[in-house]
Amino acid sequence: MEEALLIDSHAHLQDKAYRDDRDEVIRRALEGGLEGIVCVGYDLESSLETVEIARAHPKISAVVGIHPHDAKTLTPDTQERLYQLGRDPKVVAIGEIGLDFYRDLSPREVQKEAFIAQIRLARELKKPVVIHDRDAHQEVLEIIKQEKAGENGGVMHCYSGSLPMAIELIKLGFHISFAGPLTFKNARRALEVAARLPLDRILVETDCPYLTPEPLRGRRNEPLHVREVARKLAEIRRRALAEIAYLTSKNTREVFRIS
Ligand code: NI
């Protein structure tokens, strides 16, 4: 277990923040203790880019979908292209999809329609979903239940909800993923949730280039920094970092069916 490697279950490597040194960032992660990176799109263009990046790197997988911020862009044509893209063997899930009632960058009804349409698309493809939920916990949970979104598994990314909701989501087939905010000083609720969930349902991620964990806050985030999230989880659960790495990587491979 000494040599257990981590997987960053949610990174935006296609982001322009990595335009000048993407290969270097990937190399640093894979040489620094990661065995894989799941690269996640947020609109059609970034989804196409995630697939390109994943095709070029055996240890990178792609997730394609339209983020709630961009829900307006989910036209029938985009949906058809996502469906075709979703059939690619490098594409392990549909995401990130969901609801964001904090920034409200697309009208709420439009967000809901895009969320539902993409859950249905994932079910057709028999692939899991990666869900973004910000300040929309009840609505997200209702849609997940109504649409059987956990049928092929799924991940609640950068989880910010309550412990009871996390337990309900697990019953519905979901895994719960923690990012940099777990390391922040005001992370009381996330800490409580991370302390109690079954260890076979927890994932770690960076959501890079955003949400840089402590003690690196203030810098650009990158997949290698998932170590800090795992380290915090190890501290909370009083386990060795190697055990947390082993378990979260196993969970990530299971939910995304990565061999
Ligand atoms: Ni993200």
> How far apart are the CA of 159 and the centre of ligand 1, in A?
11
Please check the confidence at residue 196 and state whether its pLDDT lies above 50.
yes
> How far apart are the CA of 96 and the centre of ligand 1, in A?
7
Average pLDDT of the segment spanning 234-248: 97
Residue 1 — very low, low, confident or very high, per pLDDT cuts 50/70/90?
A: very low
Mean pLDDT of the chain: 96
Average pLDDT of the segment spanning 94-109: 94
> How far apart are the CA of 124 and the centre of ligand 1, in A?
23
> How far apart are the CA of 207 and the centre of ligand 1, in A?
5
Q: Domain 6-256 carries which CATH code? A: 3.20.20.140
In this prediction the pTM is 0.96
| pLDDT value, residue 187 | 87
Average pLDDT of the segment spanning 222-239: 97
Average pLDDT of the segment spanning 229-239: 97
Mapped to the 3 state alphabet, what secondary structure does the chain carry? CCCCCEEEEEECCCCHHHCCCHHHHHHHHHHCCEEEEEEECCCHHHHHHHHHHHHHCCCEEEEECCCHHHHHHCCHHHHHHHHHHHCCCCEEEEEEEEEECCCCCCCHHHHHHHHHHHHHHHHHHCCCEEEEEECCHHHHHHHHHHCCCCCCCEEECCCCCCHHHHHHHHHCCEEEEECHHHHCCCCHHHHHHHHHCCHHHEEECCCECCCCCCCCCCCCCCHHHHHHHHHHHHHHHCCCHHHHHHHHHHHHHHHHCCC
Average pLDDT of the segment spanning 115-139: 97
Compare 3 and 194 and report the one with higher pLDDT. Answer: 194
> How far apart are the CA of 14 and the centre of ligand 1, in A?
11
Compare 216 and 4 and report the one with higher pLDDT. Answer: 216
> How far apart are the CA of 232 and the centre of ligand 1, in A?
20
| pLDDT value, residue 2 | 45
Residue 3 — very low, low, confident or very high, per pLDDT cuts 50/70/90?
A: low
> How far apart are the CA of 40 and the centre of ligand 1, in A?
7
Instruction: Read off the pLDDT of residues 159-185 as tens digits, 9 standing for 90 and up.
Output: 999 999 999 999 999 999 999 999 999
> How far apart are the CA of 106 and the centre of ligand 1, in A?
16
> How far apart are the CA of 147 and the centre of ligand 1, in A?
22
> How far apart are the CA of 136 and the centre of ligand 1, in A?
16
Instruction: Read off the pLDDT of residues 207-229 as tens digits, 9 standing for 90 and up.
Output: 999 999 999 999 999 999 999 99
| pLDDT value, residue 220 | 97
Domain ranges of the chain: 6-256
